Chain A
Amino acid sequence: MTDNQEVKMRELLKQSLKPVNGGLGRDLWPQMFSRLQPHPVTMPWFDWALLAALVLCLCLMPSAIPVILYHL
């Protein structure tokens, strides 16, 4: 590729790509700060449902407790 072709390609690219002017218009610290905060681990609803089903089963069939403990 010759220098002339390179200059033409450069000009074409400059005309084609969206110009980006200006600096940052706002302070991003609040967003950064919220990202830095530790987020509490949330348990999905399905896990709660499984736990509730297990407790219900154990209440209805207490004899199953030793079996479950054996398998844990």
Chain B
Amino acid sequence: MEVLDQPAELLRNFACGNINAFETLFRDYQGEVFRWTVRIVRDRGIAEDLTIETFWRIHKAHARFDPKRGFGSWARRIATNAALDYLKTYRPTIDLPEDLPVQANPDSAVQRDIRDRTRTAFARLPAKLRVVAVLALVEEEPYKEIADALRISVGATKLRVFRALRLLRKDLKKQGIEP
């Protein structure tokens, strides 16, 4: 998450429950939290709701915030947890992307079918694997960043990516697709 240099006084005030300090932090970080969340949930409307939910959790946990540590990484962890909680409850909708280029060649129907099946297989992955897979493979976030957001080690992150790929491949193979 982009490092914004926050004055120590502001962070201390936030930790003490000052609503004006919270508003300042909200306005500074809402965009970053949204961008991180939308990469995970792949839906702008849901990401907006989860941004609010993230800051609600941040507000409730203000007393636990250590002003000596950065606000950004703390907010990102909470945002990741909020997104993970959402993914555990709701399976992503399997709708077609609106802005994918329409292909006129005869293979387009086959390609579309493969993409649909891949999306379905991806939606079937456990939530904690889906988060890691989308961040590492699609968004190409560094493993270190993902590990920090999930509070796991880099090794555990790589393992989750590997497991996600293996499960995905197995699922696609069952459907007759050999990637």
Contact = CB atoms under 8 A, between A and B. Distances in A.
Interface of A: 1, 5-6, 8-10, 12-20, 23-24, 27-29, 31-33, 35-36
A9 B177 CA distance: 11
Given A12-B114, A17-B119, A35-B56, A23 B162 contact: no
Given A23-B34, A32-B26, A1 B59 contact: no
A1 to B, nearest CB: 6
Interface residues of B, number: 41
Given A9-B165, A12-B114, A16-B122, A23 B42 contact: no
Contacts of B134: 13, 17
A5 B165 CA distance: 9
Contacts of B27: 27, 29
A36 B23 CA distance: 11
Contact of A36 (B35, B59, B168): B59
Contacts of B165: 1, 6, 9
A32 B118 contact: no
Contacts of A24: 30-31, 34-35, 48, 51
A35 B119 contact: no
B92 to A, nearest CB: 9
Contact of A20 (B23, B44, B115): B44
Q: Which 4 residue pairs spanning A and B have beta carbons closest together?
A: A16-B118, A24-B34, A18-B97, A16-B115
B12 interface: no
Contacts of A13: 118, 122, 133-134, 137-138, 168
